[in-house]
Amino acid sequence: MSLFSFASGLKDWHKALIFLFIDMVLVPVSLGITLLLSHAEIFQGHIPAGFFTLAAILTLLAPGIAQTLGLPRIRLNAFETGGIHRTAGLASILGLAGIALNIVFGGPLPGASLAIFGMVYLIAVVTSRMVLREIVRTIYRRGRKQTRVIIYGAGQTGQQLAAALRTDDQVDLVAFVDDNPRLQSLTLVGTPVYASSRLKDLIARKAVDRVVLAMPTAAPSIQARIALRLRAMGCEVHSLPSFAELITDRDISKRSTPVSIGDLLGRNGLESELPTVAHTYKSQSILVTGAGGSIGSELCRQLVACEPDNLILLDHSELALYSIEKELQELAPNVRVTSVLGSVCDPILLKQTFEDNSVNIVLHAAAYKHVPMVEKNEIAGLRNNVIGTRTVAEAARVAGVERFILVSSDKAVRPTNVMGASKRLAELVVQDLATRSQTTLYSMVRFGNVLGSSGSVIPLFEEQIARGGPVTLTHNDVARYFMTISEAARLVLLAGSFARGGDLFVLDMGDLVPIRKLARQMIEGAGFTVKDDEHPHGDIEILVTGLRPGEKLIEELLISPDMLTTPHPKILRAQEGFLSEIEMATALKDLRNAIEAADTEAARAVVCRWVEQNPAVTTESASVTEA
């Protein structure tokens, strides 16, 4: 049996007996030490008469008095706070009893010697408890994994926390860190205090798992900056209010209240309402383009639950493709996963992929979607989003694929930017092929902003709040539709099961969410206050930076108000116009020529000619032409 098993297996009454035994043994030991200190003749073997009788009686009295005082019931971890004064009481009572017995037995020892005995016994019992505590702590440290902790802030709250942590066998307090030079190099509550400049070295050298910020009087923005710096060192960070705040009403209002998904969406989540679609994808060979992206990777996660015969992942990012492949192999080891590294603009690669894998269904999620980035790289955005869609969709038609689903965006509705226009052109490409295909059912899914996807506003706000602000907002009146990643993926999969050819599906996404309201909710949900004219001493400011090039104030989901129902009440089928075969061929020819010539003006001219745009953009373009 190991020492840890022995120590952890002791019952309370076992521990109490051990304490009583130690208290008994220390009585004659303390008397012996007292004799050595006060009677030099003991070294010649002259022990006073009646000493052994006195020692025996005091030894028998010790456990009874200790039990009455409750000393054996005090745990080792709590001995400093609840045991020392009781031990002093025990030593005093034994000392007085010794004096009384000494008188009864005719004074074998001087009264001063028994006073010394009381002090020696007190020191002996306290020392034994401290030594025993360190032995037990060492046994527990070696027997179980402990969380190694640094407390940032050596003030009153930090010291109170340190005192509390000393009673926890699962936590090992490594050090204090404080910015106050007067506290540095001191030892508080048995723990050394270091300067914050040594944090990185301490975390690495002492294998620290967690840092606790015990500085409740510091501004939340300062704490947020410290926390961000610590997380960059690979350490978990927690923030602690003062112990006084924990029992006041003020603390209740200050506690963090996470923003609910319902508040962000402006509606209830639909995951539970959307039906499963496993029957459509079971035992199928399915190609997902853009498989390493936010939407593509979630599509893959949901598809493996449908038990496809083969799930083909296509992405041009090696790291993203490796990550999703590894995740899927762990998630569903029995599902065959095929990874293809390459571009959707490569027709030879696509032809080979379709032939080698006998693809039945294509989910086309590959796209450049960040508005400012595509606005500055028009040619790359149009090549990937339009020509890439055409290449994949045409390869699917030639291969005789059963279903093709395009993942589109609400930015395709009367676009004000190149990204939105490229997505609308991609929709027109798919609509054109849908009118001419005899074997493949083409459909499209259009939805708004996806919570938590790369580049979306939620991660950006979280990062800015973690830095202590400011939170940047492009305009006070900006509003967006939101949905979760799982809703977006489920909608795409449902579209594949509802498709009849040329369908454009949209989700009933509830009300528009004002982004300023969202920013305020996230700041307050993180436990901070908004700094504005009414609250100049708030923690985090909302800074309006101005609309970015091509950005809309309000996003739309529909070009035409005409809607048709589907088998599900929350999913609608839009009826929108499309280009004729000749018009589409002309648009694609002109766009290819502009892309090959890297002519951004010609590319924008193609977009303006064939895509119905926002009236504001149309007016602006006309003004430029007239000038």
How is the chain split into domains, by residue range?
3-142, 147-254, 278-616
In this prediction, residues 63-83 reach a mean pLDDT of 77
Q: What is the pLDDT of residues 425-445, one digit of tens each?
A: 999 999 999 888 888 999 888
- C-alpha 551/C-alpha 375 separation (Å) is 10
Please say whether the beta carbons of 527 and 254 come within 8 A: yes
Q: Pick the closest to residue 332 from 373, 304, 371 (CA basis).
A: 304
SS3 of residue 352 by DSSP: helix
Domain 147-254: give its CATH code: 3.40.50.720
Q: Pick the closest to residue 587 from 354, 399, 427 (CA basis).
A: 427
pLDDT above 80: residue 451: no
pLDDT category at 386 given cuts 50, 70, 90 is: very high
Residue 552's region, left for phi above 0, alpha for psi from -120 to 50, else beta, is beta
pLDDT category at 5 given cuts 50, 70, 90 is: low
Give the DSSP H or E segment for 331. Answer: helix 318-331
Q: What is the pLDDT of residues 9-27, one digit of tens each?
A: 677 777 888 888 888 888 8
- C-alpha 276/C-alpha 292 separation (Å) is 23
Return all residues near 373 (Cβ < 8 A) that are at least 6 apart.
381
Q: What is the pLDDT of residues 474-527, one digit of tens each?
A: 888 888 777 777 777 887 887 777 777 778 887 766 677 788 888 887 887 777
The CB density around residue 355, as the number of other CB atoms within 10 Å, is: 12
pLDDT above 90: residue 457: no
Q: What's the pLDDT at 221?
A: 61
Pairing of strands 210-213, 482-484: unpaired
pLDDT category at 455 given cuts 50, 70, 90 is: low
Please say whether the beta carbons of 570 and 270 come within 8 A: yes
Q: What's the pLDDT at 300?
A: 92
pLDDT category at 127 given cuts 50, 70, 90 is: confident
Do the domains 147-254 and 278-616 sit in the same CATH topology, yes or no? yes
- C-alpha 140/C-alpha 137 separation (Å) is 5
- C-alpha 487/C-alpha 183 separation (Å) is 53
Q: What's the pLDDT at 382?
A: 94
Q: What is the pLDDT of residues 276-325, one digit of tens each?
A: 667 888 889 999 999 998 889 989 988 988 889 999 999 999 999 999 99
- C-alpha 313/C-alpha 337 separation (Å) is 7
The CB density around residue 43, as the number of other CB atoms within 10 Å, is: 9
- C-alpha 389/C-alpha 351 separation (Å) is 14
- C-alpha 503/C-alpha 493 separation (Å) is 13
Return all residues near 138 (Cβ < 8 A) that are at least 6 apart.
none
73-97 b/e (C-beta count within 10 Å ≥ 16 → b)? ebebeebbeebeebbbbbbbbbbeb
- C-alpha 338/C-alpha 532 separation (Å) is 53
Question: Distance between the two ends of the chain, CA-based, in angstroms?
Answer: 92
Superfamily of segment(s) 278-616: NAD(P)-binding Rossmann-like Domain (3.40.50.720)
Using only the alpha carbons of the chain, give its radius of gyration.
38
Please state, for a pLDDT cut of 70, what percent of the chain lies above it: 79
Q: What is the pLDDT of residues 339-375, one digit of tens each?
A: 999 999 999 999 999 999 999 999 999 999 888 899 8
pLDDT above 70: residue 589: yes
